[in-house]
Amino acid sequence: MKQYVIGLISGTSVDGIDAALVELSGSTQDLRVALLAGATYPYPEALRSQILSVCEGAALTMTEFAQLDEAIAQVFAQAAIAIQAGQPTATLIGSHGQTVFHRPPGSTGESQSLSALPSQLGYSLQLGRGALMAHLTGITTINNFRAADIAAGGQGAPLVSPVDVCLLSHPIYHRCVQNIGGIGNVTFLPAIDSEFRQTKPILGWDTGPGNALLDLAVHRLSQGKLTFDRNGDWAAQGTPCQMLVQQWLQQDYFQQPPPKSTGRELFGEAYLETCLADAASHTLAPADILATLTELTAASIAQSYDAFLPQRPDQVLLCGGGSHNLYLKQRIQANLDQAVVLTTDEAGLNSDFKEAIAFAVLAYWRNCGIPGNLPEVTGAQKSVLLGDIHLVS
């Protein structure tokens, strides 16, 4: 039976809330998704800067914490209401919320046993109270998707991989679905046989920086006038310093095998400071610095494919805001030579709203009692139901 579901997410870029209203039917292999409406609702500037400073470690009192949690729930609820204008009314919301803290399990990224000390498990915090959203919208809301996977020893990320499997697997091509948000994440989709079985293991992990370092650098180099490098035009005027890129690629996170996940805790302001300090000894112009950071994103993606996949993909399907960065896309193509670099639009799935669509699907699965994590991707010990259900009282 078909159901209208809203998916909401604000990712590590903290640029705004991506909202998707979808019509869903089927379950997993026969899942059908039609995107009825998609929009991005920017955060009010004051709320965005507060979130960014909290992500950078700013301390909050519990009163401030509660206010922030509620303020985020309110703007998410407004996005859910706005996306339904002129559309059928949704009966379910899947809200990822806003990540403000992410600690992957352990220090090695290996999956943990259930007897692990709590401190060896991961911890990931998304704000935007589900009960308040259900109250404000009058729609059952599911949120807190990462906690159950983490409690089962997983990374709690990437969570979109099972949705990629259902919607983007191909009978001939081995595909990588590469999301480029603030952080990048990949799902490797081996070609499927006639019974929809993957011919090789499905894999997935956070590749490292997507746009996060670039956005911070653009803000810094433009003296606060710009927040991102539109289409990659600024970086395209520069030349990447390959020596620096090679040096940065030696870093532990890039060497660590999956399952692995990361966030602004690693690839944030302090990381950019180190990059800029390294760049100072190479006399680089601002455009060269941006080209070098863009190259880090592209080369870290390609290096991780070479290191951790059984083979190079035939196709790379980009999605997320970074897929609009044409210079980045060109550099990913250059780093992956014979793989064809496309966007998920070219495979029939909207590249701007794929992550929001995925959280609508995860909520739908939760509601149907279908486990939503892929243990082979997150490293969890087992498949679990993802998300907390908040009914409208």
Binding residues vs ligand ATP (CB under 6 A): 9-13, 15, 18, 179, 181-182, 211, 215, 228-232, 320-322, 324-325, 355
Which among Mg ion, ligand ATP, none contacts residue 329 (Cβ within 5 to 8 A by kind)? none
Nearer to ligand ATP, 78 or 381 (CB): 78
How many Cβ atoms sit within 10 Å of the Cβ of residue 63? 8
Smaller CB separation from ligand ATP, 288 or 355: 355
Instruction: Kindly state the smallest distance separating residue 79's Cβ from Mg ion, in Å.
Output: 12
SS3 call for 236: helix
Q: Pick one of ligand ATP, Mg ion, none as the site partner of residue 98 (Cβ within 5 to 8 A by kind).
A: none
C-alpha span between 48 and 113 (Å, rounded): 37
Kindly state the smallest distance separating residue 160's Cβ from ligand ATP, in Å. Answer: 8
C-beta of 109: minimal distance to Mg ion in Å?
25
215 binds, among Mg ion, ligand ATP, none (CB under 5 to 8 A by kind): ligand ATP
CB of 349 to ligand ATP, least distance (A): 14
- Distances in Å between the Cα of 140 and the Cα atoms of 73, 91, 93, 221 are 14, 7, 6, 44
Whether residue 158 contacts residue 205, with contact meaning beta carbons closer than 8 Å, is answered with yes
Q: What's the CA angle centered on 348, arms 338 and 321, to 5 degrees?
A: 75
CB atoms within 10 A of CB 110: 16
- CB of residue 391 vs Mg ion: minimum separation in angstroms? 28
Choose among Mg ion, ligand ATP, none what residue 130 binds, the Cβ cut-off being 5 to 8 Å by kind.
Answer: none
Nearer to Mg ion, 14 or 236 (CB): 14
Chain centroid offset of residue 78 CA: 22
Structure tokens at 327: 């210079």
For Mg ion, the binding residues (CB under 5 A) are: 11, 13, 15
Nearer to Mg ion (CB atom), residue 13 or residue 335 = 13
| CA distance from start to end of the chain | 24
Please report which residue ranges of the chain form alpha helices under DSSP H.
45-55, 62-83, 130-137, 147-151, 161-168, 212-221, 233-236, 242-248, 252-255, 269-280, 286-308, 326-335, 354-368, 375-378
- 11/263 with CB nearer Mg ion: 11
- 94, interface contact from Mg ion, ligand ATP, none, CB < 5-8 Å by kind: none
The two counts, helices (H) then strands (E), for the chain are 14, 12
Give the C-alpha separation, 65 to 74, whole Å. Answer: 14
* Residue 325 binds: one of Mg ion, ligand ATP, none (C-beta under 5 to 8 A by kind): ligand ATP
CA distance 207 to 282: 26
Cβ at position 289, least distance to ligand ATP in Å: 16
Nearer of residues 137 and 207 to ligand ATP, judged by Cβ: 207
- Give backbone dihedrals phi and psi of 349, rounded to 5 degrees, phi first: -125, 125
- Which of 212, 249 has the CB closer to Mg ion? 212
229's contact among Mg ion, ligand ATP, none, with CB below 5 to 8 A by partner kind, is ligand ATP
Min dist CB 133 to ligand ATP, Å, is: 18
Please report the sign of the dihedral spanned by the C-alpha atoms of residue 14, residue 255, residue 303, residue 259.
Answer: negative
